Amino acid sequence: MYQRWVDAGYFTADAASAKPAFCIVIPPPNVTGSLHMGHALEHSLMDALTRRRRMQGYEVLWLPGMDHAGIATQNVVERELAGEGRSRHDLGREAFVERVWRWKAESGGMILNQMRRLGDGVDWSRERFTMDAGLSRAVQTIFKRLYEDGLIYRAERIINWCPRCHTALSDIEVEHSDDEGELISVRYGDGDGAIVVATTRAETMLGDTAVAVHPDDDRYRHLIGTEVALPLTGRVVPIIADDHVDPEFGTGAVKVTPAHDPNDFEIGRRHDLPALTIMDERGVITAHGPFEGLDRFEARPAVVAALREQGRIVAEKRPYVHAVGHCSRCDTVVEPRLSLQWFVKVAPLAKAAGDAVRDGRTTIHPAALAQRYFDWVDNMHDWCISRQLWWGHRIPVWYGPNEKVVCVGPDEQPPEGDGWEQDPDVLDTWFSSALWPFSTLGWPSRTADLDRFYPNTVLVTGYDILFFWVVRMMMFALYAMDDVQPFHHVYLHGLIRDAHGKKMSKSRGNAIDPLDWLDRYGADATRFTLARGANPGGDMALADEWAAGSRNFCNKLWNASRFALMNGATVAQPLPARDRLTDADRWILDGVDALVSEVDQLFEDYQFAKLCELLYHFTWDEFCDWYLELAKVQLAEGGARADSTRLVVGHVLDTLLRLLHPVIPFVTDVLWKSLTGNESLVIAAWPTASGTEPDTAAAGRIAAVQRLVTEIRRFRSDQGLKPGQRVPARLSGMDTADLTAHAAAVASLARLERPDESFTASATLEVGGITVELDLSGAVDVEAERKRLAKDLAAAEKELAQTEAKLGNPQFVDRAPAEVVAKIKARHEQAAADIKRIGARMEALAGERSLRGDGIA
């Protein structure tokens, strides 16, 4: 069925159409990735949004694609090479990149096929990859523009370095965790000139070029300007004063290692200190001496041991828990490292990104998360964009003789001649993803797609990626597109958790594979489950039971449709005039009308969980459990009544299928085609409310029927009657309650039958003014009924007391809205009537003896 949708071109956007545009670009999954629950959720929501808009007559573009995922992909291929006993260096750059492309062709993009199984209505004719020619052109174009505007610069800075991946990382690629370390205090120098500093990374003292104290710190004022000899190396460094030092922390004196700590680097810059690099890119000590050649984690204890031997350690705190950065890719402890890298100057871009949300050009749903967005945007550091990798967009900068530097645009030739070489680094993966909302539409060319589908209507992504990606798209899009925002709305969904709210992860072993659900429960049930759990910004707990419940619902829909079709439900003719419809017909039609409006509103607010709940409840409880049961009675009447009932059933089912299609696309399409004979629900019109004034009187009578039926069932259940057993009964008072027309329905739903001459009432109950006399053939369970009555009485008495207290409070009667007071008054009267009724019944029962239950001999 999916392929038929695709082949029919339902998902192919037409930039030239006159319809209003609706566009979502897919958050590009990594080319290395396969579908996990997070994707399944995200895609279910995007598909629901696009399907509804398509049905509403929008020109919908949902654009698919993938991300080249620099480090992740390079790691995969390097691992593959390692299996062959080779490294990328054995291949050389060109051959390696070639190999990655081959890997992509052969094993990449598994996720695209998995998206088909989910039913994603994406426009495959517009599939993009961040390393496409077109997107590469976009990367080069914006790089050059930023470079020329002075917003990209190259500088020697302390950056996060992964000693395993051998590359720089941006701040967001570093994850902090509380690790155990040890904080040692070391005495530098001797005698009067001695000063004690604290450190967690003892090995870095090999690169110390100063000791700093706070200028106002009286303890050390006399030492400022003096020099001190470092332990172990004996190198002499100055003691300087700097405001950055916190006198409260540790000893109030800091060792300064400009080449291996970002703070120290800044201090070094302020005081013109030399930066001494003592470690190579693998994290191995390069400083000459006894520690040379040791890994940083071997060097640390070795240095500590040497210090201890010299009696330099005056205090140690162990374990000392502090935040340590790890590579988000391989979990290796990140090393701050001084190196020459490319940066984006984010301040002006971030300002624009903040403004676009502040002034409402882009709205964030749920709004509460906008605050986080601002926090991030207002405190962003410059973004390190160069990576020492081979897989990615190579930096379009050439270095020539005499330190000449040329940035090469997309249509320009690189400079020729001796000594010109291109920068070996590639760009951070997020650099190209940041262009995604417009590069995929053809930018920098001015294409019809770009005209039509930019800004994108809505971006759907997880709140965990708000900073990583959304902020960057905002920055680059506003910059490239003359301050026009990349999307009108950002909808942030939550994270998937297991049944107990724990994060799902492969290592934890609690991950549910969406493909498994697809196999066992089907795409419809999987999607409905995910949409049903999607409260804006809220995480959702998942377990097999939820999927089973959704599967049951899809099945219910199938069976209800089967019943409808078996009974000749149809949409072939317009609905009969209202006055020819029954109360039940009007009630369900009005209900559907209200449902359409509510579902619409909830869609507008991205309230997926609520709209699913509403549809679930209406379909199952209202339509199946009540209306279809009432319809059976009407169908049994035959004639015109049966004919009109077929039309009502057809109309309601038709509407429900349309409303459910965005979240349950497959089975609804099948059923709808059978019901209507039309081509496909995918391109059917979204329902609109009829605008008919709801018949509240009819709804009231149906509610009365429901109450009556439920009470009789409850009574029967108490009496231990089989649910299916027909019980002779006499109803009186139906006329005064205006329910005469519903006698047959009540009898059918409550399993009552017309009494014959031998009828003797052995039990009576009264509901809303109607007396029901039943012939239980003597088998009356007085005890059960007594128990029930006692319970009901207690509830009614509590109610009476509560309402009385309220009504007795003049301030309440005075100040509460009349409507509320009236409601309380009604409850009070109802409680009083109930007590009276129950009392009378109990009195009548007083003389009875149970013929059933425990009391029977």
Residues from 544 through 583 that contact RNA (CB under 7 A): 545-546, 548-549, 551-552, 555-556, 559-560, 562-563, 566
The interface with RNA within residues 677-716 (CB under 7 A) comprises 710, 713-714
Distance between CA atoms of 497 and 501, rounded to whole angstroms?
5
Q: How far is the CB of 380 from RNA (least distance, A)?
A: 8
Q: How far is the CB of 154 from RNA (least distance, A)?
A: 20
When the beta carbons of 640 and 820 are compared against RNA, the nearer one is: 820
When the beta carbons of 407 and 470 are compared against RNA, the nearer one is: 470
- What phi-psi label fits residue 402: left (phi over 0), alpha (psi between -120 and 50 degrees) or beta? left
Q: How large is the angle between the packed helices 544-566 and 639-660, nearest 10 degrees? A: 150
The interface with RNA within residues 279-338 (CB under 7 A) comprises 322-323
Distance between CA atoms of 772 and 775, rounded to whole angstroms?
10
Residue 326's alpha-carbon distances to 72, 301, 332, 333, 855, in angstroms, are 15, 20, 5, 4, 73
Q: How far is the CB of 810 from RNA (least distance, A)?
A: 8
Choose among 464, 460, 442: nearest CA to 452. Answer: 442
Segment contacting RNA (CB under 7 A): 8-16, 140-148, 250-258, 596-604?
250-258
Q: How far is the CB of 562 from RNA (least distance, A)?
A: 5
718 touches RNA (CB under 7 A): yes
When the beta carbons of 86 and 787 are compared against RNA, the nearer one is: 787
473: CB partners within 8 A, 6+ apart: 433, 434, 435, 436, 437, 459, 486
200 touches RNA (CB under 7 A): yes
215 touches RNA (CB under 7 A): no
When the beta carbons of 674 and 809 are compared against RNA, the nearer one is: 809
Segment contacting RNA (CB under 7 A): 9-17, 138-146, 481-489, 496-504?
496-504
Q: What angle do CA 124, 127, 130 make, to 5 degrees?
A: 165
145 touches RNA (CB under 7 A): no
Q: How far is the CB of 199 from RNA (least distance, A)?
A: 4
198 touches RNA (CB under 7 A): yes
- 384: three-class secondary structure by DSSP: strand
Segment contacting RNA (CB under 7 A): 123-131, 399-407, 500-508, 692-700?
500-508
When the beta carbons of 328 and 456 are compared against RNA, the nearer one is: 328
CB-based contact 560:622 (threshold 8 Å): no
Among 197, 338, 649, 774, binds RNA (CB under 7 A): 197
When the beta carbons of 101 and 374 are compared against RNA, the nearer one is: 374
Q: Which amino acid, 753?
A: E
Chain-centre distance of CA 738, in angstroms?
50
When the beta carbons of 720 and 855 are compared against RNA, the nearer one is: 720
The interface with RNA within residues 511-530 (CB under 7 A) comprises none
Q: Which two tokens stand for residue 160?
A: 């996060």
Q: Which two tokens stand for residue 444?
A: 């920098």
Q: What is the dihedral of CA 279, 280, 282, 283, to 10 degrees?
A: 0
Cα torsion angle, 124, 130, 136, 139, sign: positive
Segment contacting RNA (CB under 7 A): 400-408, 664-672, 722-730, 768-776?
722-730
When the beta carbons of 119 and 252 are compared against RNA, the nearer one is: 252
CB-based contact 743:706 (threshold 8 Å): no
The interface with RNA within residues 175-194 (CB under 7 A) comprises 176, 178, 183
Among 201, 393, 527, 651, binds RNA (CB under 7 A): 201
Site string for RNA, 595-614 (x = CB under 7 A): --------------xx--x-
**In the chain, what's the furthest Cα-to-Cα distance?**
120
113 touches RNA (CB under 7 A): no
When the beta carbons of 236 and 820 are compared against RNA, the nearer one is: 820
User: How many other CB atoms sit within 10 Å of the CB of residue 537?
Assistant: 18
605: CB partners within 8 A, 6+ apart: 365, 536
Q: Which amino acid, 842?
A: M
When the beta carbons of 149 and 829 are compared against RNA, the nearer one is: 829
Distance between CA atoms of 522 and 514, rounded to whole angstroms?
10
Site string for RNA, 791-830 (x = CB under 7 A): x-------x---------x-xx--xxx--x--x---x--x
Choose among 618, 636, 615, 635: nearest CA to 626. Answer: 618
CB-based contact 37:511 (threshold 8 Å): yes
Among 172, 459, 663, 727, binds RNA (CB under 7 A): 172
CB-based contact 73:100 (threshold 8 Å): yes
When the beta carbons of 282 and 617 are compared against RNA, the nearer one is: 617
Distance between CA atoms of 65 and 33, rounded to whole angstroms?
12
255 touches RNA (CB under 7 A): yes
The interface with RNA within residues 16-55 (CB under 7 A) comprises none
Q: How far is the CB of 556 from RNA (least distance, A)?
A: 5
Q: Which two tokens stand for residue 75?
A: 């790691």
Backbone φ and ψ of 344, nearest 5°: -100, 130
When the beta carbons of 325 and 514 are compared against RNA, the nearer one is: 325
Q: How far is the CB of 177 from RNA (least distance, A)?
A: 8
Q: How far is the CB of 623 from RNA (least distance, A)?
A: 8
Q: How far is the CB of 798 from RNA (least distance, A)?
A: 9
Strand partners, 161: 168, 335
The interface with RNA within residues 747-776 (CB under 7 A) comprises 751
Site string for RNA, 362-391 (x = CB under 7 A): ------x--xx--xx--x-x----------
246 touches RNA (CB under 7 A): yes
Among 46, 254, 350, 480, binds RNA (CB under 7 A): 254
Choose among 520, 486, 440: nearest CA to 132. Answer: 440
When the beta carbons of 361 and 827 are compared against RNA, the nearer one is: 827
When the beta carbons of 68 and 255 are compared against RNA, the nearer one is: 255
Q: How far is the CB of 550 from RNA (least distance, A)?
A: 8
State how beta strands 210-213 and 59-63 pair: unpaired
Considering CB under 7 A, how many residues would be counted as binding RNA?
90
Among 79, 318, 446, 500, binds RNA (CB under 7 A): 500
Choose among 21, 20, 22, 19: nearest CA to 46. Answer: 22
Site string for RNA, 453-472 (x = CB under 7 A): -----------x--x-----
Distance between CA atoms of 122 and 61, rounded to whole angstroms?
7
Backbone φ and ψ of 553, nearest 5°: -65, -45
Distance between CA atoms of 43 and 64, rounded to whole angstroms?
11
Q: How far is the CB of 372 from RNA (least distance, A)?
A: 6
Q: How far is the CB of 555 from RNA (least distance, A)?
A: 4
Q: What angle do CA 451, 354, 44 make, to 5 degrees?
A: 60
505 touches RNA (CB under 7 A): no
Q: For 332, which DSSP code? A: P
Q: Give the start-end residues of each E strand in 408-483.
A: 421-422, 426-427, 456-462
Site string for RNA, 612-641 (x = CB under 7 A): -x---x--x---xx--xx--x---------
Is-cis flag, bond preceding 290, omega within 30?
A: no
Rg of the chain (C-alpha set): 37
